[in-house]
């Protein structure tokens, strides 16, 4: 298989802050930065790094600097030379022999506190819903089990929930998917042709921008800030200039910033998108996890003709991540296109999962009420503890969701994550959420864990910050020791 080529331009975008906050020699700083990109998952295993001269020109350094950085990575086992393929990314033997425990995308040991996925434990009532769902299995066994549309009862329950929230919906507007990520990937395959522009927020949910890239989309970003929200002027300009095929947005409790799009910005988005022929895909995976205030109506409620906004929802965040149920709400014509494209990727949503979700969705309001108290306790404790322990950080208190998007003040997020990993806590660095890298000045911190783990998290972050962020380190020892 031919290795994927990481272009010099793409590498330079990922390496924006590689010389900041370090007194190490240039080649060591560059090799450390590249090592972090590999461990962080932003440069995939098997990728071919740019030629030395090309990367040197893109970064404005000498070819010798790049050559020495590559040599150091080879010595440490992160690169191998392949005849005709240049320098190919790999993991050192001591890491590759295990099931990727050191990579942020892999499995970690049971003793570690894994906070890469912001998620709650199963909601009260899930076990009982499973018991009730099992009673319906004999009737389900009368069918063949391949279901690409969705259980009628579940579709009716999802439609009723949208209607309760101010968006009148018929079950014919719903297709059930294998979680929200499956819905995103399916929409990307259907709506995006190779070379199409796709508007995404920056930062954004990483597996979404990966799905749109996989479909051949050319990503164009619009800034979102935890405190000020969306840059409306940039949003309008990007829509008009790029005329993207799709605009993927998270207007309610955005992941990772926690921001909620204002009514004015929602109207602007829909108006301009309609004028340039852009399909707006609104991901509400976090949308109902509000802690403070009232939730907005779903974005499609402001869509005049009801056809240009596609809604994505999920049972995972509200009920349980192990319940792999998502859905798409869209015009029937688009749903038919999804159903025609679906068999190349899957042959239907698991029936038992649907039966369980059918029992749970009508109880969403009650479950959210219980979740709200738990999330408020977690948010308030983690935010207060971080503000006390690390007063130099900017720690927002989001109105909902599962995380806070912390401003570190220095571009050391990946190094901080590696240092925390050495202390037994696994987090995703800010760069994971950037469609084109960046965000090394930010860290997504979940507040979904129990009280004892909240204290452990803050203690570990305090010690990790003292090692890599609280002083101008950046030397070989500060990073390589935790890899």
Q: Where are the alpha helices (DSSP H) in 259-324?
A: 263-276
Q: Are 153 and 325 in contact (CB under 8 A)?
A: no
* Domain end position, chosen among 334, 362, 390: 362
pLDDT of res. 456? 95
My answer on whether 307 and 434 are in the same domain is no
Let me know if residue 161 belongs to a domain. Answer: yes
Q: What is the CATH number of the domain that holds 51?
A: 1.10.10.10
Residue with tokens 């022929």: 277
Asked if residue 341 and residue 408 are part of one domain, the reply reads: no
**Has residue 106 been placed in a domain?**
no
Contact by Cβ (8 Å): 158, 364: no
Query: Do residue 204 and residue 298 come from a single domain?
Result: yes
Instruction: Specify whether 356 is located in the same domain as 464.
Output: no
CA distances from 325 to 22, 28, 255, 257, 428 (A): 45, 46, 19, 24, 24
Q: What pLDDT shows up at residue 472?
A: 41
Q: Give me the domain span that covers residue 421.
A: 113-122+366-480
Residue 470's pLDDT is: 61
Question: Strand 246-249 to strand 229-230: parallel, antiparallel, or no bridges (unpaired)?
Answer: unpaired
Residues 220 and 346 both lie in one domain: yes
| Cα distance between the two ends of the chain | 28
Is 322 a domain residue? yes
Task: Please report the pLDDT score of residue 96 as a whole number.
Answer: 43
CB 215 within 8 A of CB 222: no
181 and 277 co-located in one domain: yes
CB-facing half-sphere around the CA of 356: CA atoms within 13 A = 24
| Residue 134 and residue 18 share a domain | no
401's CB contacts (< 8 A; 6+ apart) are 118, 253, 254, 255, 258, 286, 289
pLDDT at 41: 62
In a domain, 1, yes or no: no
Give the pLDDT confidence score for residue 104 in this predicted structure.
Answer: 39
E strand or H helix that includes residue 467: helix 451-468
Number of structural domains the chain divides into? 3
In this structure, what token pair is assigned to residue 72?
A: 């150091």
Per-residue pLDDT of the chain (483 residues; tens, 9 = 90+): 445 678 888 888 888 778 876 778 999 989 988 887 776 666 777 788 999 999 999 999 999 999 999 999 999 888 988 766 688 888 675 444 333 333 334 545 557 899 988 899 999 999 999 999 999 999 999 999 999 999 999 999 999 999 999 999 999 999 999 999 999 999 999 999 999 999 999 899 999 999 999 999 999 989 999 999 999 999 999 999 999 999 999 999 999 999 999 999 999 999 999 999 999 999 999 999 999 998 899 999 988 666 689 999 999 999 999 999 999 999 999 999 999 999 998 999 999 999 999 999 999 999 999 999 999 999 999 999 999 999 999 999 999 999 999 999 888 888 899 889 889 999 998 988 987 667 888 999 999 999 999 999 999 999 999 988 665 443 333 333 333
**192 and 226 share one domain:** yes
Whole-number pLDDT of residue 441: 87
Are 357 and 470 part of one and the same domain? no
pLDDT of residue 27: 92
Residues 380 and 374 sit within 8 Å (Cβ to Cβ): no
């Amino acid at each position: 298989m031919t290795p994927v080529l990481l272009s010099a331009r793409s590498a330079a975008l990922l390496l924006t802050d590689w010389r900041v906050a370090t007194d190490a020699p240039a080649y060591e700083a560059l090799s450390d930065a590249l090592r972090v990109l590999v461990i962080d998952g932003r440069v995939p295993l098997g990728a071919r790094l740019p030629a030395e001269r090309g990367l040197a020109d893109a970064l404005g350094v000498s070819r010798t600097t790049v050559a020495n950085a590559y040599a150091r990575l080879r010595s440490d086992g992160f690169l191998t030379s392949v005849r005709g393929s240049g320098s190919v990314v790999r993991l050192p033997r001591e890491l590759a022999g295990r099931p990727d425990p050191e990579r942020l995308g892999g499995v970690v040991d049971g003793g570690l506190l894994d906070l890469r996925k912001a998620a709650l434990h199963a909601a009260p009532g899930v076990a009982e819903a499973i018991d009730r769902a099992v009673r319906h299995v004999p009737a389900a066994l009368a069918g063949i089990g391949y279901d690409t549309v969705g259980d009628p009862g579940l579709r009716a329950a999802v439609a009723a929930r949208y209607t309760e929230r101010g968006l009148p919906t018929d079950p014919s507007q719903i297709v059930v998917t294998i979680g929200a990520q499956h819905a995103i990937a399916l929409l990307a395959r259907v709506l995006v042709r190779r070379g199409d522009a796709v508007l995404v927020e920056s930062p954004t949910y990483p597996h979404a921008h990966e799905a749109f890239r996989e479909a051949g989309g050319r990503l164009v970003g619009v800034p979102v800030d935890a405190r000020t929200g969306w840059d409306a002027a940039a949003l309008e300009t990007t829509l008009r200039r790029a005329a993207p095929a799709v605009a993927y947005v998270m207007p309610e409790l955005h992941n990772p910033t926690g921001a909620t799009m204002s009514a004015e910005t929602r109207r602007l988005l829909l108006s301009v998108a309609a004028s340039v022929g852009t399909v707006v895909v609104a991901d509400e995976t976090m949308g109902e996890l509000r802690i403070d205030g009232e939730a907005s109506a779903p974005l499609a409620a402001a869509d005049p003709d009801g056809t240009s906004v596609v809604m994505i929802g999920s049972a995972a965040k509200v009920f349980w991540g192990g319940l792999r149920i998502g859905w798409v709400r869209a015009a029937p014509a688009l749903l038919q296109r999804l159903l025609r494209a679906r068999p190349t990727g899957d042959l239907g949503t698991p029936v038992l999962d649907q039966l369980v979700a059918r029992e749970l969705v009508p109880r969403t309001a009650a479950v959210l009420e219980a979740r709200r108290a738990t999330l408020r306790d977690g948010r308030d404790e983690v935010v207060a503890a971080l503000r006390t322990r690390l007063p130099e950080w900017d720690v927002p208190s989001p109105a909902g969701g599962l995380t806070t998007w912390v401003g570190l003040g220095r571009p050391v997020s990946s190094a901080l994550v590696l240092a925390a990993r050495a202390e037994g806590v696994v987090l995703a660095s800010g760069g994971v959420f950037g469609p084109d890298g960046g965000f090394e000045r930010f860290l997504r911190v979940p507040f979904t864990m129990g009280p004892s783990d909240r204290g452990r998290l803050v203690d570990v972050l305090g010690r990790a910050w003292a090692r890599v962020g609280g002083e101008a380190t950046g030397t070989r020892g500060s990073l390589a020791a935790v890899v």
